[in-house]
Amino acid sequence: MVKLKVNFDLLPLKGQYFLWNAGTAPIVPFLPIYARQLGFSSVIVGTIYTVLPITGMLAKPLFGAIADRYQLQKLLFLAFQIITAISFFVIQFIPEIHTESKSSPTTLDCDAFTYFKICSSDVDRCAAARLMAETSSNNTALCELECIANAWLTKEVCEVWNVSRYCELTGDINLLHLVAEVPISHTLPTTSENGTCLHFRVHHVLDGFSSHVPYCRNLTTAPCMVQCLDPAISEVFRNTAVNDVNVADLYQFWLFFLLMVLSWIGMAVVVSIGDAICFEMLGDQPTHYGYQRLWGAVGWGVFAVISGLLVDELSKGRAQKDYTIVFYLMLVILIFDVVVSSRLKHSQTKLSTSIVRDVGKLLTELRIVVFMLWCIAVGLSTGLQWNFLFWHLEDLATAEGCDMLQWMKTIEGLVMGVQCFGGELPFLFLSGRILRKIGHVHAMSLVLFAFGIRFVIYSILKNPWWCLPVELFQGFTFGIFYATMASYASIVAPPGTEATVQGAVGAVFEGIGVSLGSLLGGVLYDKYDGATTFRIYGIVSLGLFVLHFLVQTIISRKAQYSEQAREFHSSAHYAAPNEALNMMDDMQELTPS
C-alpha cells in the first residue's frame, strides 16, 4: 500500500500555480476575439501577437539574469504579477473603433410607398437574422439619407411631401438631406447581384419638428448615402471605419498594444521565474514538476469554463459580447495569487560566478541547439492555436447556424476545460514517468506529431462541437511539451543560472516560435480561411516531426549521451536529460508531493 506524503512547504507553490492560471484564464484566451470585437482585422491581431512574444523573449532572459545576479527572484515574481493584473484590467476601458453602416450601393425608391435599400456582399448574416427576429416589434429607427435627386424628385419632395425648404431648388440635380423614420417591422430582406439587401420602408420624413409622409405620384429613384442610428441595423453592415494601413492612426490601437505589451512582459517574467523557483524548491526531484504544474491546469480549466458561461449569460440580448465580468474576476483572483506567492518558502542558495560564460558554453552543445530549434518549431504551431483557434470555431459556428453563436463563449470555455482536465492535467501528472519511459528526445518528436494530427483534424471540422474530443491532444501538445521543455532546461542549467536558462528557453519558444506562428497565421487566415490555414500548419508540423526524428537519429549514431557529458571549466556540469534523470535516485517518491 502506497503511503501518501504531503509536503506542506510545497502547498503554497501548488496554490500559486492554481491561482495564476485561474486568474489569467478568464482573459488570455479571449483577447484575440476581444480585439476582433474592438474592430481589428486578423492581420492586425496576428501582427500584435507577433510583437508580444518578442517582448517576452527580451524580458525573460533579462529579468531572469537580474533575478539570478542580485538574488531577486521572489521580489520580481511578485512585482510582475501586480503589473500583469493592472495591465489586463485597464484593457476593458478601451473604446471600440468607430464603425459605420456600409451604404454602397444604396437606392431610394419613391412610389406609393417609399423604400430605401442597402446592399452589400459583406453582410453579417447573423446580425441580419437578429434584425429579422425583431420585425415583430413596433420599434422604429432613425436613418439619415443624403440623396442625389433629379428635378422631378425634388419637385415631389416639395409638392407632395410638403418639405418647403426644397421648393426653392431649381437645378436638374440637387442634394437632399433627409431624416427617415423606419419601422423595423417593415424591413424586407432580399438577395441581388450586389449580395444581401435590406429594404427599409420610410414611414415618415422628419424636417425639424415637422413630420411628412413620403410618397411619389410616379416611381422615382435616387442614389443615396445612409447612416442608421439603430445599432441593430448598423451591426448588419458593420465595417471598420479605417483599413489596416491606417490603424496606426487610432489611439485605440496604441492603447491596446501598449497594455498588451505590459501584460505579456508580466506574464513572461512570472512564468519563467516561477518555474525556476519551482525547480529550486524541488531540489533533486525535478520529475515532480508535473505534480505542481498540474494545479495550474486545474485552475485554468475551471475558470475558463466559468468565464465562458458568465460572458454568454450576461451578454443575452446584446449585439456584442460583454466581457466586463471576466476582467473583474481576473483582478480578484490575481490579488489572491500575490498573497499566496508571498508565502513561498524559497531562498536562492546557488550563485554563478559568470552567468554569461556558463550559459554561453551550454549553447555550444549540439543537442541544446537542436532542442532550441524544436522549441521554435513547437512555438509556430502554438502561436496559431493560441490566437486563431477561437476565430476558426466562431467562423464554423456562423456557417453552421447563427443560433450557435449565442453560446459560443460557453463552447470556447468547454474547449479549454477539456484541454485542461482531459489533456494537460493527466499528462502533467504522468509526465515524469513518461519522460523516464520514452526520454526527452522521443517526447519532443511526439509533440510535433500530435500537433500535425490535431491541426489536420481542425481543418476538416464542420461543427465546432466536434472540437471538444480533439482537445484531448492538448495532453501531448502542451502537457508533455511543457514538462519536457521546463525539465530539460532545469537539468542542463549550470548552477546559479536556473532563472536565466528558463528565461532563455521560454524566450526562444515564444519570442521566435510563437511570434512567427502568429504572424504567418494571421496572414494565411486573412488570405485563405481557418480550415486552409490549419491544414497548412498541420502538414508542416508532420514534416518537422519526420525531420526532427531523422536529425536525432543521426546525432545518436554519432555519439552516445555518456560521451557528450562533459565538465565545464566552472562548476557547471552538463549531462543529457535522459542520463541525468536516471542518475537521480528519487524513484521511491512516485506519489505527489
Question: Which residue would you say has higher pLDDT here, 465 or 560?
Answer: 465
94-103, 256-265, 524-533: least confidently modelled range: 94-103
The arithmetic mean of pLDDT across residues 56-72, rounded, is: 80
What's the CA gap between 301 and 13, in Å, rounded? Answer: 18
| pLDDT tens digits for range 110-148 | 888 888 887 766 566 666 666 666 555 567 778 888 888
Q: How wide is the angle at C-alpha 523 spanned by C-alphas 506 and 324, nearest 5°?
A: 70
* Local confidence band at 585 (pLDDT 50, 70, 90 cut-offs): very low
Contact 414, 304 (CB under 8 A): no
The single-letter DSSP state of residue 593 is: -
- Identify the pLDDT of residue 593: 47
What's the CA gap between 390 and 345, in Å, rounded? Answer: 39
**Selecting from 1.20.1250.20, 3.40.190.10, 3.90.550.10, 3.40.47.10, what CATH number does the domain 8-97+244-337+356-583 have?**
1.20.1250.20
101: pLDDT strictly greater than 50:
no
Q: For 421, how many CA atoms within 13 A lie in the half-sphere containing its CB?
A: 14
- Identify the pLDDT of residue 121: 60
Domain regions of the chain by residue span:
8-97+244-337+356-583, 99-240
C-alpha cell at 481: 511539451
What's the CA gap between 478 and 53, in Å, rounded? Answer: 17
The amino acid occupying position 142 is L
What's the CA gap between 494 and 361, in Å, rounded? Answer: 10
What's the CA gap between 587 and 577, in Å, rounded? Answer: 16
The arithmetic mean of pLDDT across residues 447-469, rounded, is: 93
83: pLDDT strictly greater than 90:
yes
Question: Which residue would you say has higher pLDDT here, 585 or 385?
Answer: 385
566: pLDDT strictly greater than 60:
no
Cα-trace Rg, the chain: 30
- Identify the pLDDT of residue 459: 94
Contact 308, 409 (CB under 8 A): yes
- Identify the pLDDT of residue 352: 52
> Mean pLDDT of all residues in the chain?
80
83-86 — which CB contacts under 8 Å span 24+ positions?
A: 83/262, 83/263, 83/265, 83/266, 84/24, 84/262, 84/263, 84/266, 84/267, 84/270, 84/334, 85/23, 85/330, 85/331, 85/334, 85/335, 85/338
| pLDDT tens digits for range 177-215 | 888 888 776 667 666 665 667 788 888 888 777 888 888
* Local confidence band at 567 (pLDDT 50, 70, 90 cut-offs): very low
169-178, 298-307, 345-354, 583-592: least confidently modelled range: 583-592
Distance between start and end Cα atoms, the chain: 17
- Identify the pLDDT of residue 191: 65
Contact 141, 236 (CB under 8 A): no
| pLDDT tens digits for range 470-528 | 999 999 998 899 888 888 887 777 776 666 777 778 778 887 898 899 889 888 988 88
Q: Which H or E element spans position 188?
A: strand 188-192
168-182, 323-337, 493-507, 530-544: least confidently modelled range: 493-507
144-148, 258-262, 579-583: least confidently modelled range: 579-583
CA-to-CA dists, residue 42 to 194, 246, 505, 522, angstroms: 25, 15, 28, 5
* Local confidence band at 260 (pLDDT 50, 70, 90 cut-offs): very high
What's the CA gap between 545 and 555, in Å, rounded? Answer: 16
Residue in 201, 199, 152, 208 with CA at minimum distance from that of residue 177:
208
Q: For 405, how many CA atoms within 13 A lie in the half-sphere containing its CB?
A: 23
558: pLDDT strictly greater than 60:
yes
- Identify the pLDDT of residue 456: 95
401: left (phi over 0), alpha (psi -120 to 50) or beta: left
SS (H, E, C) 260-295: HHHHHHHHHHHHHHHHHHHHHHHCCCHHHHHHHHHH
C-alpha cell at 515: 511570434
The single-letter DSSP state of residue 555 is: H
